[in-house]
Amino acid sequence: MDHESCRTLLEGVSLFAEGEAPPELCAEIERHMAGCEHCRIVVDSLRRTIDLYHRLPQPAMPEKAREKLYKSLDLTEYMK
Amino acid sequence: MTDKASETGLLERIRAGEKKACVECVEIHSPGIYRLALRLMRQEADAEEVVQETFLSAFKGIDRFDGRSDLRTWLYRIAYNAAMMRLRRAGPEEVSVEEAAEPEEGALIPRALMAWKDLPEEELEKAEVREELERAIRDLPEKLRAVFVMRELEHIPTDGTASALGISEDVVKTRLHRARLRLRERLAPYFALPAEEAGGNHGS
C-alpha cells in the first residue's frame, strides 16, 4: 500500500464504495484496481464495513430509561 | 410523520404547552437520540442523562427553534452538545487525545490487507459480533464518531449532520471517509478470511 497511486485513489475510495464517485474517478479507480490486489481488497472490505453497519441491529432504549425520561419530563401519565 | 407540515403542527402544539405533543415528539425522536447518546457516551447511565437533558432543554427552549433545520437535526445538536459537555466535565481522559496529534496522511493508509469473509445474516444477530461492531465505533476518535453515527447509522443527510455538529459539509464528508477507513482497519482482523481459505488452496 505504498504506491503513490494507491494513496491518491484512497481519497476517493469512500465515494466509490458507495457508488457515488463521478464517472471519471470511477474509471480511474477501476483501472487502478485491475492491477492492484491491495486496493481491490481495501475497496471490498470497505464496502463490507459500510454494509455491516447498515445491517447492524439498532440498540433500543431500555424500558427503565424510558420511564425515567418520561418522569423527568413530567409526562409519566401519558406513558404507553 | 416527520414531514414539514406535521412537524410545524407538532411544534405549535409543543409551544402551546400541550403535553401530548411533547409525548409525540419524545416517541418519534427519543430512540435516535438515545442511540446517538449511547455511542457518544460509552456508559448507558450517561447516555440516559443526555437524553433527558436533551428533551428538557428542547422543550424549555422550543421558542428558540427557528425552523431553519428540521426538528430532528435541532435535537441532535442539543444532544451532541450535552454529550460533549459531559465528556469534558468528566475529565480529559474521557476525550480522545490522539485526535489532535494524529497525522492526517498516516491515518488514511490501509495496513490490514487481508480479504474478508462473507457474513451470513444470522451472524449479525450474535451478541458477540454486534459488540465487536459497537466497540469499534466507541474506539473512534470523538469527532469521527459523531459524524459516523449521524451519517451512517442514523442516516442524517450531510447538510443536517453539518448543521448539528457546527462544521462544514466538506468536513462531514472527510470525517465520514476517515471513520470508515479506520473502522475497516480496526475490524479487519475480526472479519478476515482464515489464512488457508484466503490462499485458495482449500475448499471448492
On whether both B75 and B143 belong to a single domain, the answer is: no
Of B44, B65, B90, the position where a domain reaches its end is B90
Choice between B200 and B141, residue whose per-residue pLDDT is larger: B141
The residue whose grid cell reads 427519543 is B30
Q: What's the gap in Å between the CA of B11 and the closest CA on chain A?
A: 17
What band does B106 get if pLDDT is binned at 50, 70 and 90? Answer: low
Number of domains in chain A: 1
The one-character DSSP state at B25 is H
- Percent of chain A beyond pLDDT 70? 95
* Residue B76 maps to a domain: yes
Distance, CA of A19 to CA of B157 (rounded, Å): 16
Q: What's the gap in Å between the CA of A66 and the closest CA on chain B?
A: 8
The one-character DSSP state at B97 is S
- Percent of chain B beyond pLDDT 70? 86
Choice between A8 and B34, residue whose per-residue pLDDT is larger: B34
- Residue A57 belongs to domain spanning: 3-78
Contacts of B5 (CB under 8 A, 6+ apart): none
On whether both B131 and B76 belong to a single domain, the answer is: no
Q: What is the pLDDT of residue B204?
A: 38
Cβ of residue A62 closer than 8 Å to a chain B Cβ = yes
Answering whether pTM is above 0.80, one says yes
> In chain B, where does DSSP find H-type helix?
4-15, 19-41, 44-60, 71-90, 98-101, 121-124, 127-138, 142-148, 158-165, 169-191, 195-198
Q: Do A45 and B116 touch (CB under 8 A)?
A: yes
> Is B201 a residue whose pLDDT tops 80?
no
pLDDT single digits (tens) A5-33: 787 778 788 788 777 888 888 888 888 88
Q: What's the gap in Å between the CA of A34 and the closest CA on chain B?
A: 16
pLDDT single digits (tens) B108-137: 778 888 889 888 888 888 899 999 999 999
* Residue B174 maps to a domain: yes
- Of the listed ranges A31-35, B29-33, B90-94, B197-201, the least confidently predicted one is B197-201
On whether both B135 and B66 belong to a single domain, the answer is: no
Q: Do B52 and A72 touch (CB under 8 A)?
A: yes
Q: Do A42 and B113 touch (CB under 8 A)?
A: yes
The minimal CB distance from A55 to the residues B124, B134, B188 is found for: B124
Instruction: Find chain A residues with C-beta within 8 A of B116's C-beta.
Output: 44-45, 48
* Residue B15 maps to a domain: yes
On whether both B29 and B76 belong to a single domain, the answer is: yes
Q: What's the gap in Å between the CA of B140 and the closest CA on chain A?
A: 14
Q: Do B191 and A48 touch (CB under 8 A)?
A: yes
> Is B3 a residue whose pLDDT tops 80?
no
Give the mean model confidence (pLDDT) for residues B127-155.
Answer: 94
Q: What is the CATH number of the domain that holds B141?
A: 1.10.10.10
- Residue B47 belongs to domain spanning: 3-90
The one-character DSSP state at A56 is S
- Tell me what ipTM this predicted complex has: 0.87
The minimal CB distance from A50 to the residues B22, B38, B180 is found for: B180
Cβ of residue B181 closer than 8 Å to a chain A Cβ = yes
Q: What is the pLDDT of residue B103?
A: 46
pLDDT single digits (tens) B169-182: 999 999 999 999 99
DSSP letters along B42-56, please? Answer: SSHHHHHHHHHHHHH
On whether both B116 and B56 belong to a single domain, the answer is: no
Number of domains in chain B: 2
Name which of A4, A50, A11, A5 is nearest A31 in CA terms. Answer: A5
Restricting to A residues 26-55, those with a Cβ less than 8 Å away from any Cβ of B are 38, 41-42, 44-46, 48-50, 52-55
* Residue B133 maps to a domain: yes
The residue whose grid cell reads 433527558 is B52
Q: What's the gap in Å between the CA of A31 and the closest CA on chain B?
A: 19
Q: Do B152 and A50 touch (CB under 8 A)?
A: yes
∠ CA A32-A35-B116, nearest 5°, is 90
What band does B94 get if pLDDT is binned at 50, 70 and 90? Answer: low
Q: What is the CATH number of the domain that holds B41?
A: 1.10.1740.10
Distance, CA of B8 to CA of B4 (rounded, Å): 6
The minimal CB distance from B113 to the residues A1, A72, A75 is found for: A1
